[in-house]
Amino acid sequence: MGSTARGAGSSGASHPMAVNKTVIALLRPKPDLAKLADDPPHVQAAVQAALDTPPGIGTIASYWTEVPLPATGTWNAPGKGGAQADLVLTAPQDGAGLLFIEVDNCHETAEELAAKLEKYARFFRRTVKDTDGRERPMWRTRWMASEDRYGDVPHPPVLLVFNHIGARNPNRTILRLQELTRHLWQGEWQREGYHLYDGKVPIVAVGLRNLREHGPTGSVFFRFGRDRPQPLLEAIGNPRREAADAREAEEWRVRQEEYQAQLRKAAQEQAAKKAVEATREAAQREGRRPACAGCGTRFTDERWEAAEETDWGRLIDTHPTLCDSCKHEAVAAAHDVDQQEQQEPLPDWAQQKHLLRFTSRPHCTECKAAFTDERWQAVNRTGWHPLPRERHPTLCQTCTQEYDDSIENAWPHSRTYESPEERPVPKPVPKPKSGGWFSGLRS
């Protein structure tokens, strides 16, 4: 703009000019060296010095001016009792999620500024029903801000920028304003070494000259309640709480590592104990492992399991005391014996094998003795007219006689006879003598 317009802005629009200077001081835009290639060296040196300064906060789109904060009414039609922010900054990418800025040219008193901050607090406390039907602070329905920690939900911070062109001393104004607004910003001290600002408004003050000179990263921002100036992000934040949280997280991490180390140690001890028990059980099991009765070799696990298998209490394996090799040899030898017995020449009466009960010489199931020819012929049935029925065809003659004698001794009347002549004659019952007591009963 021209000299006339610049003069009019400096004299008649001093507050908007101060707001613009505040935006430039916070934004700190960097010049383009390519466009200054033809400028004098001293200009390029000054530009290079500006490039070496720390960066600012946000972009030009991060700043809104003259934003209404309705304590009543709506955003488009605010009611009475509300405030109007000179600047609203939202730059979450730079750590400044939401910041309200008030610029004062040192014309207002501390009481007037305190009344304006009361309007800010009233707006922050206002809640409305959001689109999901839940009650939320009104400012959260327009601006995005991160959720705070549990038990510490402060309101958005307010930055007071003092441009000392008026008659009032900003240092005295800040001291008086701090006392008037103590109920708005004072936090609650915790024994962990930090304050909780639940429901409080962080209020930060800075001079425009210091802001333009040092920028947002300079330690020129004084937060009410603190004893030293800080950079902007530290002043609007809670570094002591963050340090305490970091210490707590580190202590938790150390405890977790110690706990995990204890778990690993306990697991190793348990594994070692199980290994010792397994070794002892293996040794005991090896001590119980049977040896072959033939060659003395210890049974394998498979042979041991097969030799111990039972069916209704009876061993299934035919040679439970022999290993696999010896068992095969024993089975082969028994097979050879059977072949030799089967090659025994049959008697003349057994040459015809039709309707024979035993086609080869049987053995007694009791004493395992081979049947004689007479016993073999007696238990067999040949031709179409078989011999009389044999009561015990699987027993030899001796075992048959012993069986019949034992049955007759135990139950004398249970023996069966092939003809009536063999049945013994029963003895007559003696008659009672006369004159006894039984005869009296008969009379």
- What pLDDT does 2 receive? 44
- Angstrom distance (rounded) from CA 146 to CA 97: 7
- 303 within 8 A of 293, measured Cβ to Cβ: no
- 376 within 8 A of 362, measured Cβ to Cβ: yes
Distance in angstroms between the alpha carbons of the first and the last residue of the chain: 167
Q: Where are the alpha helices (DSSP H) in 33-109?
A: 41-51
Q: What are phi and psi of 367, to 5 degrees?
A: -105, 0
Using the predicted structure, report yes or no on whether residue 441 has a pLDDT greater than 50. no
CB burial of residue 425 (10 Å; 0-12, 13-18, 19+): exposed
- Angstrom distance (rounded) from CA 443 to CA 433: 14
The SS3 call for residue 404 is helix
Using the predicted structure, report yes or no on whether residue 439 has a pLDDT greater than 50. no
- Angstrom distance (rounded) from CA 341 to CA 364: 15
Higher confidence at residue 162 or residue 13? 162
- 82 within 8 A of 72, measured Cβ to Cβ: yes
Residues 6+ apart with CB under 8 A from 70: 78, 79, 82, 123, 126, 138
Tokens in use for 273?
A: 């104990």
The SS3 call for residue 98 is strand
pLDDT digits (tens, 9 = 90+) for 317-375: 888 888 888 888 888 887 666 666 555 666 666 666 556 667 777 888 888 788 888 88
Quick one: average pLDDT of 277-305?
A: 90
- Cβ atoms within 10 Å, residue 40: 9
- What pLDDT does 72 receive? 92
Quick one: average pLDDT of 256-285?
A: 94
pLDDT digits (tens, 9 = 90+) for 382-425: 555 554 567 788 888 888 888 877 777 766 665 555 555 555 55
Q: How many CA atoms lie within 13 A of 114 on its CB side?
A: 17
Cα dist from 88 to 248, 252, 258, whole Å:
34, 38, 48
Using the predicted structure, report yes or no on whether residue 246 has a pLDDT greater than 80. yes
Residues 6+ apart with CB under 8 A from 210: 218, 220
Cα dist from 119 to 89, 112, 236, whole Å:
19, 11, 19
- What pLDDT does 231 receive? 95
- What pLDDT does 443 receive? 44
Cα dist from 145 to 53, 95, 142, 232, 289, whole Å:
29, 11, 10, 17, 75
pLDDT digits (tens, 9 = 90+) for 102-146: 999 999 999 999 999 999 999 999 999 998 999 999 999 999 877
- What pLDDT does 414 receive? 56
| Spacing of C-alpha 343 from chain mean position | 75
Cα dist from 23 to 29, 206, 327, 393, whole Å:
10, 14, 102, 123
- Angstrom distance (rounded) from CA 248 to CA 292: 69
Numbers of helices and strands, H then E, in the chain: 14, 12
Using the predicted structure, report yes or no on whether residue 203 has a pLDDT greater than 90. yes
- What pLDDT does 309 receive? 80
Quick one: average pLDDT of 260-265?
A: 95
- Angstrom distance (rounded) from CA 199 to CA 120: 13
Using the predicted structure, report yes or no on whether residue 177 has a pLDDT greater than 90. yes
Residues 6+ apart with CB under 8 A from 130: 136, 140, 141
- Residues of the chain with pLDDT > 90, as a percent, come to 42
pLDDT digits (tens, 9 = 90+) for 208-227: 999 999 999 999 999 999 98
- 119 within 8 A of 158, measured Cβ to Cβ: no
Using the predicted structure, report yes or no on whether residue 1 has a pLDDT greater than 70. no
CB burial of residue 202 (10 Å; 0-12, 13-18, 19+): buried
106: left (phi over 0), alpha (psi -120 to 50) or beta: left
- What pLDDT does 442 receive? 45
pLDDT digits (tens, 9 = 90+) for 50-80: 666 778 899 999 999 999 999 999 999 998 8
- What pLDDT does 135 receive? 92
Quick one: average pLDDT of 157-162?
A: 97
- What pLDDT does 420 receive? 58
- 289 within 8 A of 301, measured Cβ to Cβ: no
Q: How confident is the model at residue 176 (pLDDT cuts 50, 70, 90)?
A: very high
Tokens in use for 95?
A: 């750590």
- Residues of the chain with pLDDT > 70, as a percent, come to 76
Using the predicted structure, report yes or no on whether residue 233 has a pLDDT greater than 90. yes
How large is the greatest C-alpha to C-alpha distance in the chain, in angstroms?
176
Quick one: average pLDDT of 278-299?
A: 90
